[in-house]
Structure 1
Amino acid sequence: MALNDNDRSIAGFTMAGHALVHWFETSIPIFLVVWLAEFDVGVALFGLIVALGYAPFGLGALPGGILADRYGTKRLILCCLAGMSAAFLVLSLATSIYAIAVGLVLWGVAASIYHPAGLALISTGVDERGTVFAWHGIAGNAGIALGPFVAATLLIFLEWQLVAALLAVPGFLAVVYGLTASFDPTAAVEDGVDAGPDEALSLSELVSNSRALFASAFAIIFVIVTFEGLYYRGMLTYLPEILHDLEAVAGLAIPEGLEGIDPGHYIYVGLLVVGMAGQYAGGKLTDRVEPARGMTVIFAVLAVLALAFVPVTGMGLLAITVLCGVFGFFLFAIQPFYQNAVAVYTPADSRGLSYGYTYLGEFGLGSASIAIGGFVLGGFSLAAFFALIAGFGLAGMVLSAALLAGLDRFVDSDRPVDADANADD
């Protein structure tokens, strides 16, 4: 069915927002490689600093959702876009690691608003939610791939400060576009239901609904998603630096005139592009495979892939590239499964709160692996780092298997699953 004008307007606005959140997010690890060379500090300290930026990205998801209910989704998304862009301007002016820390924290706070506000806007304003969620996901994956690609390419020719400033430009353009966009944010809500601003949960309702959620199977889902976040954030943050230092990658002959190219950056971008196919495949499989079963299998694969990185690094550039491609596929293939698990194991009337907590675990608590991973890389071997990451995958596998084994105890089989709630990162 074709989208109506309101659906198209909301789709364009949220696709721009989703793409830019991940545009900024995945460019940061590319800058990390430059910052480690620019400033005389160890990887452990820089890992802690980057973690301080990523942590608010998740920790602010829950209050971000409440603020969106209180002040309106469009207003919050515009604040998110303006705040992220301003944060990258702060980074462009940084002359110390402390200024970088300030810029990253500002980015994390601003970025935390998007997911709860953007998904809420689609859920209340769009009639064809499934179609718009699909395009919304495609836009997010495009941002995931384009952010590091553009950053890596510009860094060949320009200083990192100017690159950071240039990356902020699309964000400001999106603000201008958003200010001109016209749509009804509650067009899909039934008559008589007030879904506009000023309808935020009271403190007592928030506490009671949260208590009910965590007294159910959602408690296990939350921990599973947190371990997925620990795996995801740790690997994607340090993989550009790890690839940069590998002999097979660093020793690659670069044609004359292109000496500034870092092949590791482009392997990393390729991994993210392959991830788009993984997320699509995972999304299609959620219609056929129980979420707990799918998560069990994919977590097991991710654990094996993490352990395979060290032996494969000695097998040459082709083997490294293939492994990264397979890793990217499965890293993103798991996301539709845990998103669907939230829909399966939570009631519809607390779905927004459920996704708020989901992103708190994924992006907030998951960012702890940046600090932990930096400590391990700085003080121990590369093998120890990948063993740590594999441990996160194994923990997720065990918890997913436990959820699968206790399916009859946790799920009300008479409750229908809302497929439209299967939103993406």
Structure 2
Amino acid sequence: MALNANDRSIAGFTMAGHALVHWFETAIPIFLVVWVAEFDVAVALMGLVVALGYAPFGIGALPGGILADRYGTKRLIVLCLAGMSLAFVVLATSTSIYMIAVGLLLWGIAASIYHPAGLALISTGVEERGTVFAWHGIAGNIGIALGPFAAATMLIFLDWQLVAALLALPGLLAVLYGLSAEFEPTAAVEDDVDAGPDEALSLSTLVGNSKALFASAFAVVFVIVTFEGLYYRGMLTFLPEILYGLPAIAGLALPTGLEGIEPSFYIYVGLLVVGMGGQYVGGKLTDRVPPARGLAAIFAVLVVLAVAFVPVTGMGLVAIAALCGVFGFFLFAIQPFYQNAVAVYTPADSRGLSYGYTYLGEFGLGAASIALGGFVLDVSLGWFFVMIAGFALVGMLLSVALAAGLDRFVETDRPVDSTTDD
């Protein structure tokens, strides 16, 4: 079914926002190496400074969702785009490690707004939600792949300050686009949105809505998303390092003139590119498959894939690349399902708050697997993948319970939806 004009307008606006959030996010690690040399600091200290940007990216999702319910999603997304771009302008003018820290902190605060606001906008304004979730996810993957590629390529020819400034330009252009975009943000749920702006921000409403959410099936969805975040962050953080150290890749003989190319990097980027297909297929399937059942099925696949890495890492390049491709497809195919699950199991008038909690679990609590994964990886590569598989197994079991009707044992105000399990 073709998208109507309102759906297309929201799709274009949110796709631009999603791509740029990840464009900036994945460019930052490229600068880390440059900053260590530029400011003559230890890698550990520079890592702590970079963490100042990533920490509020997850933690700020909850207040970002609250503000989206209060001030409107379009306004918040435009503010997010402007804030991220200006943060990179601050980075471009930095002459000390302290200014770098300020710029990264500003970026993290601004970026934290996007996911709860953008997904709330899609869930309340779009009729063909699954299709737009799919294209929205693909746009995010484009940003994930192009951000580090653009930064690394420009750094070959330009000073890092100029590169940071150039990376800000697409964000500033997106602000202009967003200001001119016209759409109805609640077209899909106009009859379900009752709370006024002042009511949405009041402390009593916030507490009441939070209690209602966690007394409903959303509590289960929140835990499911958290375990997906533990799987996602753990795998994507450590997989480049794991691939880099594999004998089949490290010992690969490259043709003359290509010796400087790192094959593991291109395998990793290829994984992210394949993820675009997973996002699209997953998003289209959310129109046909109930979210809990879809989550259970893909989690089961992710369990198998994590365990499969144990023997495959000892095989040849073709087997490793093939597994990474399949892994990338399913890792990103699951995202439209949990995004849709939030829309299905929550009331429309607290959708921003719902997605705020969702990305607190995904990016905030999910980041715990980085610390835990580093410790386990030092012990054994095999146990690392077993741990990751365990995260997916818990997510699968909770999804099965939700699909079997766990939501019937808790109060819920979720709207009637053609994709529910009822």
TM class by shorter chain equals: 0.7 to 0.9
Does the 8 A contact of 1:346 with 1:354 survive in 2?
A: yes
Alignment of 1:195-214 (within 5 A): 198=198, 200-214=200-214
Aligned partner letter, 1:146: L
- Partner of 2:252 in structure 1? 252
SS in 2 for 1:253: coil
Say how many residue pairs are matched.
419
CA contact (8 A) 1:248 1:316 kept: yes
Give the CA RMSD over aligned residues. Answer: 3.8
Match of 1:371 in 2: 371
| CA 1:360–1:132: 2 relative to 1, 3 Å | same
Q: Which runs of 5+ in 1 are unaligned?
A: none
Task: Tell whether 2:64 aligns with 1:64.
Answer: yes
Distance 2:123 2:341 in 1: 18
The letter of the residue matching 1:398 is: L
Q: Deviations over 1:187-217 (max 9, x none)?
A: 6675997888555331111111211221222
Amino acid aligned to 1:77: I
Residue 137 of structure 1 pairs with residue 127 of structure 2: no
Q: Say if 1:274 and 1:329, in contact at 8 Å, map to a contact too.
A: yes
What residue in structure 2 maps to residue 395 of structure 1?
Answer: 394
Greater Cα offset, 9-18 or 160-169: 160-169
Letter in 1 for 2:365: L
Of the structure 1 ranges 406-415 and 165-174, higher mean CA displacement relative to structure 2 is found in 406-415
Matching of residues 153-164 of structure 1 within 5 Å: 153-154=153-154, 163-164=163-164
Cα contact 2:61–2:113 (8 A) shared by 1? yes
Task: Summarize deviations over 1:62-97 as a string: whole Å, max 9, x none.
Answer: 211222343343332222112222333455567887
**Residue 346 of structure 1: SS of its match in structure 2?**
coil
Cα distance, 1:158–1:372 mapped onto 2, change above 3 Å: farther
Q: 5 Å matches for 1:11-26?
A: 11-26=11-26
d(CA) in 2 for partners of 1:160, 1:386: 36
- 3-state SS of paired residue (2:201): coil
**Cα deviation per residue 1:248-278 (whole Å; 9 max; x = unaligned)?**
3233334444444322222111111111222
Contact 2:229/2:362 (8 A) holds in 1 = yes
Change (3 A) 1:216 1:46: farther
1:117 paired to 2:86: no
Within 5 A, what are the aligned runs for 1:156-235? 163-182=163-182, 185=185, 190=190, 198=198, 200-235=200-235
Q: Residue by residue, what CA displacement relative to the aligned partner does 1:381-404 show, whole Å, maximum 9, x if unpaired?
A: 433433332232222223223334
Distance 1:353 1:215 in 2: 15
Alignment-mate amino acid for residue 357 of structure 1: Y
Conservation of the 8 A alpha-carbon contact between 2:193 and 2:349: no
Q: Match of 2:354?
A: 354
> 1:112 Cα shift?
0.9
Counterpart contact for 2:134–2:282, Cα < 8 Å: no
Cα distance, 1:321 vs structure 2: 0.8
Which is further off, 360-369 or 27-36?
27-36
The DSSP-based 3-state class of the residue aligned with 1:252 is coil
Task: Name the CA distance, whole Å, in 1 between partners of 2:248 and 2:94.
Answer: 33
User: Conserved in 2, the CA contact under 8 Å of 1:17 and 1:114?
Assistant: yes
- State the TM-score, normalizing by the size of structure 2: 0.82
Q: Say if 1:177 and 1:217 are closer, same or farther in 2 by CA, change over 3 A.
A: closer
Alpha-carbon offset, residue 317 of structure 1: 1.7
Contact 1:33 1:240 in 2 (8 A): no
Q: CA deviation at 1:410?
A: 3.9
Q: What does residue 380 of structure 1 align with?
A: 379
Deviation at 1:348, TM superposition (A): 4.0
Shift of the 393–90 alpha-carbon distance from structure 1 to 2, 3 Å rule, reads farther
Residue 274 of structure 1 corresponds to which residue in structure 2? 274
What SS is found at the alignment partner of 1:315?
coil
Offset of residue 356 of structure 1: 2.1
Q: Does structure 2 conserve the Cα–Cα contact (< 8 Å) formed by 1:10 and 1:122?
A: yes
Deviations 1:321-375 (A, max 9, x none): 1111011011112112222322343344443332221122112211222233344
Q: Find the aligned partners of 1:113 and 1:21 in 2 and give their Cα distance.
A: 10
Map 1:21-100 to 2 at 5 A: 21-28=21-28, 52-91=52-91
What's the CA shift for 1:33? 7.4
Residue 106 of structure 1 deviates from its aligned partner by 2.8
1:343 paired residue number: 343
Query: What is the CA-CA distance between 1:42 and the residue it aligns to?
Result: 6.6
Q: Does the 8 Å CA contact 2:192/2:348 hold for their aligned counterparts?
A: no
Q: Distance in 2 between matches of 1:6 and 1:414?
A: 26
* Between 347-356 and 308-317, the greater mean CA deviation after superposition: 347-356
Contact 2:291 2:338 in 1 (8 A): yes
> Secondary structure of 1:200's match?
helix
Unaligned runs of 5+ in 2: none
Counterpart Cα distance in 2 of 1:246 and 1:306: 16
Task: Return 248-257 or 126-135, whichever deviates more.
Answer: 126-135
Task: Indicate how the Cα distance of structure 1 residues 121 and 414 shifts in structure 2: closer, same or farther if over 3 A, else same.
Answer: closer
Q: Is the 8 A contact 1:157 1:260 kept in 2?
A: no
| Alpha-carbon distance in 1 for matches of 2:160, 2:54 | 20
Q: 1:249 and 1:92 mapped to 2: Cα distance?
A: 36
